[in-house]
Chains A and B, each alone.
Chain A
Amino acid sequence: MLRARIEKDFGSRFSVEASLDLEVESPRVTVLFGPSGAGKTTVLRCIAGLERPTNGRIAFGSETWCDVAAGQWLPPQRRRVGFLFQDYALFPHLSVAGNIGYGIHDAPGRQRRARVAELARRLGLETVLDRYPGAISGGQRQRAALARVLARRPRLLLLDEPFAALDGGTRDAVRTYLAELLAEFRVPAILVTHDWSDALALGHSMVVLKDGRILQSGPPREVLTRPSGTEAASIAGVETVQPGVGRGTTGGALTLRVGSAEIVALDPETADVDYWVCIRGEDVMLETSAASGGSARNRLAGTVFDVVWKGPLTEVKVDVGFPLTALVTRQSALDLGLGPGSRIRAVFKASTVHLIPRR
């Protein structure tokens, strides 16, 4: 168990106050989620020992890493955590092999070389071992940085926005790959991100931070679909997250079975079959008539089972074969005369359906 109570003041303008209890006995991934400037990286750096909290205590199992009141402090060298920097921070004057072996410098030569070779093989870096970080691709740099961190068999992995430097397509591939790697090396991880799809794809649990405070925590699917309070909703809110199974593609569109309904999404062009199907409430339109005009591919008939009035917006929950939430203005909801039991048609474009591989 990692228990962290962290208070960090940055002058009078900003402070971070976070309290976390994380399971680290099993290879679980905890996602620290929030917009930039929320204090996620500060929490991560305090846990790593790169930053000293103004107040608080951090304990890992029976070890105390930091206790401000008792004046205890364990330097980063002795915490045996792996930290993956956003820009990877590879040593430019060392080859890829030199970088991977950097932290196991004290090990006997043969053992060290074997470990470097093993990691290079596992992470697909064998062909670039003699190259310098400046001469390899961004993806290779990230893998080299991961190999360097894993070489020391860390007890905890801290990942600071690991996908920030990657574009959409690569991002999905690297995400899948990282999930496999974490499971294989059986190392618990804390991942900082501002992208909710990272949380859903990788996280076993999720902590939402804003302005240095924790708004909510829990399993990602729960936090995303049931944000506590409007603030958490505006950061994390994805009203509909449902498991779906791919059924086949036609013309760049993927048909999926969700509950008892079938929907169409853009083909993500991955080998996966199981997905989280994510639909934001504001992307769903509601119609009472069976008009079939328009270009939206998904037109699902259903029954309203709940209407939640939230200020100017109203959340309408419709059973279309799976529970689907639509966000409409209060006036539209009144005009449509919506209430539990109303028959309605939910309409959304295939391009608004976000698919995240599920495992």
Chain B
Amino acid sequence: MNWTALATSFRLAAVTSLVLLVVGVPVAYWLAFSNRRWKFLVEAVVALPLVLPPTVLGFYVLVATGPRSPVGAWYESLVGRGLPFSFEGLVVASTLYSFPFAVQPVAAAFGGVDRRLLEASWLLGVSRLGTFFRVIVPQSMAGLLTGVVLGFAHTLGEFGVVLMVGGNIEGVTRTVSVDIYEDVQVLDYGSANLTAGVLLVFSFLVLSIVYALNRQFRGPWMLAGPGR
């Protein structure tokens, strides 16, 4: 059982969830409320990680952030070291990889808010941003929670992208999934079994809590019946 790898995984998942929240919520808002004709293209791009092999995604992230790419060169001149094979590189890759898992439930929740409530809020003098925080967010708590937790759990379980972008550096980029692979490679089935078990139990617990909370999280107003 490699505790360092477990800690790395958790740290990665936590940071990625935070980034997903900051970047994903505006994108979800746009997806839910925009009526641009080319919205479907953005939807397709956001959903890409669902169908692409992690190696493909990882490959492109690696190329895009490498020292020969403008982005990679700019980052290296700024920070002093490159993104690939670093924890920060992993965060970038994980964010992209878990993006649809976090964005889709949030966008669905935003889109499910009755449009009349938004109009009522505007007519009561409250700005669009104010309406977002005072009407949309309180009514989308279940979706937001689901998005964050799915993003967290999905990051915790990723393997291909980590291996492509992060490599396998103990304490920096070696996550639990990579650690299990290592164990199996050296025929240490005992250690692999233990780590896999921990990950399985943890994932099950997290998902159970999310689903249980989702039932509760409709808020006190729902207990009185479905009225508005």
Contact = CB atoms under 8 A, between A and B. Distances in A.
A81 B123 contact: yes
A93 B221 contact: yes
Contacts of B80: none
B133 to A, nearest CB: 11
B112 interface: no
Contacts of B138: 93
B122 interface: yes
A83 B224 contact: no
A88 B123 contact: no
A85 B120 contact: yes
Contact of B117 (A48, A91, A131): A91
A89 B120 contact: yes
B219 A89 contact: no
5 contacts: A77-B125, A88-B228, A102-B126, A103-B124, A134-B224
A105 B220 contact: no
Contacts of B120: 83, 85, 89-91
A75 B119 CA distance: 11
Interface in A74-127: 75-83, 85, 87-94, 102-103, 105
Contacts of A83: 119-120, 123
A78 B123 CA distance: 8
A90 B228 contact: yes
Contacts of B114: 89
A60 B222 CA distance: 40
B127 A133 contact: no
A155 interface: no
Contacts of A149: 124
Interface of A: 48-50, 75-83, 85, 87-94, 102-103, 105, 131-135, 141, 148-149, 152
Contact of B226 (A76, A79, A134): A134
B227 A89 contact: no
A114 B121 CA distance: 21
A164 to B, nearest CB: 14
A88 B114 CA distance: 12
Interface in B105-125: 114, 116-117, 119-125
Given A50-B123, A102-B124, A134 B225 contact: yes
Contact of A102 (B121, B139, B226): B121
Nearest to A135: B224
Please give me the 7 A-B residue pairs with the lowest Cβ-Cβ distance, nearest first.
A103-B124, A134-B227, A135-B224, A132-B221, A134-B224, A89-B116, A89-B120
B227 A92 contact: yes
A88 B116 CA distance: 9
Interface string B133-172: 0110011000000000000000000000000000000000
A82 B123 contact: yes
Contact of A91 (B127, B135, B226): B135
B123 A92 contact: no
Interface string B90-115: 00000000000000000000000010
Interface string B209-228: 00000000001111011111
A91 B135 CA distance: 7
B228 A134 contact: yes
A305 B7 CA distance: 99
B188 to A, nearest CB: 52
Contacts of A105: 126, 134
A76 B221 contact: no
A326 to B, nearest CB: 45
A148 B225 contact: no
Nearest to B118: A89
Given A85-B116, A89-B114, A93-B138, A133 B221 contact: yes
Nearest to B116: A89
A75 B139 CA distance: 24
